[in-house]
Each structure stands twice: as structure tokens, then as C-alpha cells.
Amino acid sequence: MAATGGAPVFEPDISGPIIRPRRLRRTPSLRRLVAETSLEARQLVLPMFVREGLDEPREISSMPGVVQHTRSSLLKAAAEAAELGLGGVMLFGIPEHKDATGSGAIDPTGVLNLAITDVVAEVGDGLTVMSDLCLDEFTDHGHCGLLSVDGQVDNDRTLEAYAQMAIAQANAGVDMVGPSGMMDGQVKVVRSALDSVEHSDVSILAYSAKYASAFFGPFREAIGSSLDGDRRTYQQDPANAVEGVREALLDVAEGADIVMVKPALAYLDVVRRVRDAVDVPVAAYNISGEYAMVEAAAANGWIDREAAILETLTSIRRAGADVVLTYWAAEAARLLAR
């Protein structure tokens, strides 16, 4: 501190800081060198919808760039996914006719089971072929399970249907089934059913912490959902994180090979908690509403679309997800390859 005319003058230390974190951000190569989180095509899974009776792919208005496929267009998309080096595809089937028991889910000639066989024949070991194991696409009431006489979802009767559905998908050639209905005991029943018919090599991606989210809206258009009401009696309360970990631990104990948190972005804390709690791979599903929000903002010129896609997916990986299901999987792989 010096004085001028008796008044003290502050003299700053201009030697500068010794510790400079910015040094490691100076060039692209330095940033790559010290990056803590990677995002690679092999970590991404592309969900795809195949609709019975279509002559050409049908756009989904609330999910720009996503379509309901025909059986033939599905094969082209699957082949592209394999060429891009994606980790897998998750198949959803949309039948022409629905009924109260979702019988099309069990029918060997149902749209989803035929699609599984088609895609496996097309890509071989080039992709992990996964299939949604749930009744909501196939029931005329739109719930994920069978209903009791009073209109409630009957957990244990639904488990019987899931067992049959698992066997049908395994017979169709699937690599991995994804029980997503949030029925208590679903992983145990599916594992037992698969093992009982010598399909012990088919693995299970358990939708363990699946929340009753407001962000599922566009998905309901995608599958032509018949749901009237909500799924709060079986999907989890968005307020609960500890419960999500408990569900994941139960599924691991019942034989899940991978556990999943769905949605992803509003539940990154749950992804982290589950990752810290289990000793199997963790997946997270970047769902339709999350996709639609970014696409809408980008369409209005409010955000940089491509940068937002990669930042979104990196955030899910950073939270602890080993595998990310995302409708951007193919595009993200192309962006990463640049």
C-alpha cells in the first residue's frame, strides 16, 4: 500500500495466479486429453417403432425426424445403425388391432415378434437387438398390464402375460428383452420363463426406476396409445429417489443384467444414485419429451441444435449411465465421427 499526498493507494498483485485450470482448456487436443466423460456410438441405443399395415414410414408430429416404420424401412434403419457402430436398437411394435389382453404381444406372427426376426436376420451380431416387453402398445385400454374386474392393473396376472411375451420374443431371436411395465417381480418371472425354455442366453434390460413422468407425451403418439388416465399406481412417484435405488437393487437380485432409469434428464440424480448402488451396467432413456423440447427450441432458433444434442447425451453419461437410449443415436454417431 503506497501513499500519494497522504492518501493510501491500493497496489494489486499483478504476478497472476499460480494455479491456472484454463491451461488444460486451451486447445481441442488438450480438452480431449483430459476429458472426464466420453460419448461414443457404441454406448447409444436407438429406439425404433414398427407399425403393422403401413405402406410407407409415417412421421410422428411431436417428434420431428422420428417415424413409425414399415417392416422394410425398419430394416434399412437397423442396417444403418449397425454401420454407424451403435450399441443396439430397441424395438416397439404397434399392431393394427388391440384387445383387452394384448394378445398381439404373444402371437408369434404379431408385428413386434416378426420385426425382431427381421432385424436379427438383417444385422446379425452387428447390433444388440432389444425389444420392449410391455403390453401398453397392444391393449385397447392402454395400460401396461391386464385389468381386474374393477379396472385396476392386476400385477400377478400381468406377470403371467409377461412370461409368455418373453418366450415369444426369445423364440423370435431377440438378444435382450426390456420389461418396462413396472410390475412387482417382473424380472424374476421373465428370467424364470426364459430359462425354462432354454433361452438362458437372452439377457434382461430392466426398466427399474421408471417414473410417472409428464415427459412421455410424444411417446404416446408414437405408439398410438389408447390410454385414458395415468399409470401412477405402478410407475414411480417423481418425488422419490431412494425408491428408485430400491427398485434397481430388487431387479439385480432377480436377475437383471442391466438396470435402467427412465426418464433421464429430470432424473440424473437417480442415475447417479443407481450407478453408485449396483454392480451391473446402468442405462438411461433420453425420452420423447426430452427429445421434443430440444427439437422445438432448435426449430425456433433458440439453441444450437447439434451442440445441444451432444451436451444432453454427455450429461447423461456424466451422471453415470453406461448405456443411453436416445432417438438421436444415429445422428449423434454421425456427429461424433466428424
| Local structure of 151: helix, strand or coil | coil
Q: For residue 322, with 0-12 CB atoms within 10 Å meaning exposed, 13-18 middle and 19 or more buried, which class applies?
A: middle
Catalytic (active site) residue 210: yes
At position 155, the amino acid (one-letter code) is N
Question: CA 240, CA 234: separation in Å to the nearest integer?
Answer: 13
Q: Which of 76, 98, 188, 262 is catalytic?
A: 262
- CA 8, CA 337: separation in Å to the nearest integer? 60
Among candidate residues 76, 98, 188, 210, the one labeled active-site is 210
What are 253's three cell numbers? 437380485
Active site residue 98: no
List Cβ neighbours of 286 (8 Å cut-off, separation of 6 or more): 263, 264, 265, 312, 313, 316, 324, 325, 326, 327, 328
Give, in order, the Cα–Cα distances in Å from 185 to each of 11, 79, 156, 216: 70, 35, 9, 24
Cross-strand partners of 132: 178
Euclidean distance between CA atoms 299 and 82, whole angstroms: 29
**Which residues belong to the active site?**
210, 262
